[in-house]
Amino acid sequence: MIKQWIKKKLAKNATTGEVRRAVNLSVGGTAAVSIIRKLVQAGYEAYLVGGAVRDLLLGVQPKDFDVVTNATPEQVKALFRRSRIVGRRFPIVHVPMGAETVEVSTFRSGQVRQNDAGRVVRDNAYGTMAQDAVRRDFTCNALYYDVIKGEMIDFHQGMVDIAARRLVMIGDVAERYCEDPVRILRAVRLSGKLGFEVAAETAAPIAAAVHLLAREPQSRLFDELLKILFCGYAEACLRQLAVLGVGDEVHPFLSVLQQGLEQDTVVAQALRGTDARVREGKTVSAGFVLAALLWARVRPLWQRNIGRGQSPAAAMGDAVLQIRGGFERDWGVPQRYSAVMREIWLMQPQFAHQRGGRPFRLLAQPRFRAAYDFLLIRAAAGEADAQTAEWWTRFQAANEAQRKQMTAAQPNTASGDAPAKKKRRRRRRKSATSANKALES
């Protein structure tokens, strides 16, 4: 009876290792499903693939869906009028549909061009689904779901590994890390996010292959670190680095994250807050989070400049100028994020001004809310005056008359970190004529 059930549920191809299983995944009326139906109606094969399929099996709602097909990028583009082909190394098609943009890739054969170090530099030789499965990184990401038949196609026991919560690399592990060293960071992210144990044979070559990451562009490494940061389990991922033998020398941003995690700093506060918001399905501003995480590089410069006699605002301006080029050029931080970071940092000294019209002008700034939230994080970490943060909380909730009363009664502070000391009024020196007259009288 059991043997008959297994025979019925699993149809295995002895040549490719292909296993097909009837599975009912809740994919709903997503844009990806509409794209798949249109491709199939046009005579092509098309499936859901990768992380979305994995997450659905784990009971997690995917953020996006990827589609794979035997249609070439040019054929896909011809079918979807507003689509566009992107990428040279791995050409794919971005297909916009409603508010979504779905990535559609073509089955690849695995016949790649590599450089002298063994890294894949071109992978656009098209092939079959079985060949495509071989070139994917982990078994849990090599699952293909046929939304028309409600059938899962598995070439590398990915469903078994997902059930066992195990992360397993496909193929020769050392060679796969050499082909693309960023897979090391992907192993860190997936194991930390999913709570998977990295299989011994998958983990073993990592420590020896970490140095290969130094050859990757900083911008690409930064993109992968952002995925770790916004996966909802950044703390768990960062702790996984030590387990897998990945040091913080991989990228300076990683060093900042690791150091901040060890102490109850603004970095730790930001990491916990970001993890909580992502898991609750709330929106997260990348610029805001990066401003908090990189604050450890800005604040010492700000304080040093103040110590040299600069005003808090001028001191912050100089500090931001000093680090701006390094973040954008050397760290690979996109300008769209660094611009938000700068605005948030430059507004921090302004919270010290609580008299006259300046609080009203600050409140009207487009980036006020983000800068205020950042002030709250600094206050919670003991790096900003709690009374200043509390005053701004009340100021926002007050009506116009109450705000005017608050600004009339509140003394200014010297910096964003502590209340200012009251300035001593200098006694006016009497002129010689006045002194003589006083003596004469």
Q: The domain spanning residue 225 has which CATH number? A: 1.10.3090.10
Amino acid symbol at 161: D
E strand or H helix that includes residue 210: none
| Same domain, residue pair 44 and 125 | yes
Considering the domain boundaries, does residue 399 fall inside one?
A: yes
8, 154: one domain? yes
Coil, strand or helix at 60: coil
Distance CA 312, CA 352 (A): 9
The residues of the chain scoring below 50 in pLDDT are 1-15, 414-416, 418-423, 430-441
Q: Which of 96, 37, 100 is nearest to 69 (CA)?
A: 37
Among 164, 182, 200, give the residue marking a domain's end.
164
Q: Which positions are annotated as active-site residues?
A: 64, 66, 137
Is 17 contained in some domain? Answer: yes
Confidence at residue 102, expressed as pLDDT on a 0 to 100 scale: 94
- Residue that has been written with the tokens 């990827």 in this structure: 66
pLDDT of residue 8: 43
Indicate the pairing of strand 46-49 with strand 197-198.
unpaired
What is the model's pLDDT at position 247? 83
Task: Please write the tens of the pLDDT for every residue from 197-225.
Answer: 999 999 999 999 999 998 898 889 989 99
> pTM for this structure?
0.78
Same structural domain, 4 and 109:
yes
Is residue 423, in this structure, part of any structural domain at all?
A: no
CATH of the domain at 57: 3.30.460.10
User: The domain containing residue 327 runs over which residues?
Assistant: 286-409
Alpha-carbon span 212 to 215, nearest angstrom: 6
398 and 366 belong to one structural domain: yes
Query: Among positive and negative, which fits the CA dihedral 155, 159, 225, 85?
Result: positive
Domain match, 290 and 398 both: yes
The whole-number pLDDT of residue 425 equals 56
d(CA 235, CA 195): 12
Does 17 share its domain with 126?
yes
In a domain, 1, yes or no: yes
Is residue 429 assigned to a domain? no
Q: How far apart are CA 233 and CA 217, in angstroms?
A: 25
User: In terms of domains, do 3 and 80 share one?
Assistant: yes
Last residue of a domain, one of 206, 231, 263: 263
Q: Phi and psi (nearest 5°) for 138? A: -110, 155
Task: Report the DSSP beta bridge partners of residue 138.
Answer: 169
Instruction: Show which of 164, 183, 209 is a domain's final residue.
Output: 164
Give the number of C-alpha atoms closer than 13 A to the C-alpha of residue 317, restricted to the C-beta side. 6
For residues 131 and 429, give the distance between their C-alpha atoms in angstroms, rounded to a whole number.
91
Looking at residue 155, what is its pLDDT? 94
Clarify whether residues 153 and 183 are in a common domain.
Answer: no
Are 112 and 16 part of one and the same domain?
yes
Distance, in Å, from the CA atom of 351 to the CA atom of 376, rounded to the nearest integer, reads 11
Tell me which residue of 208, 172, 166 sits closest to 187, measured CA to CA: 166
The alpha-helical segments, DSSP class H, found in 245-280 are 252-261, 266-279
Specify if 439 maps to a domain: no
Report DSSP state, residue 265.
S
In a domain, 281, yes or no: no
For tokens 């139906």, name the residue. Answer: 37
Strands of 124-206 (E only): list them.
143-146, 151-154, 166-167, 197-198
φ/ψ of 230, rounded to 5, equals -110, 25
Residue 130 and residue 43 share a domain = yes
Q: Round to whole Å and give the CA distance between 248 and 253.
A: 8
Please count the structural domains in the chain.
3
Both 351 and 390 in one domain: the answer is: yes
Q: Is residue 1 located within the same domain as residue 103?
A: yes
The Cα 189–Cα 262 span in angstroms is 19
To 10 degrees, the CA torsion angle through 146, 147, 152, 156?
A: 50
**Is residue 54 included in any domain, yes or no?**
yes
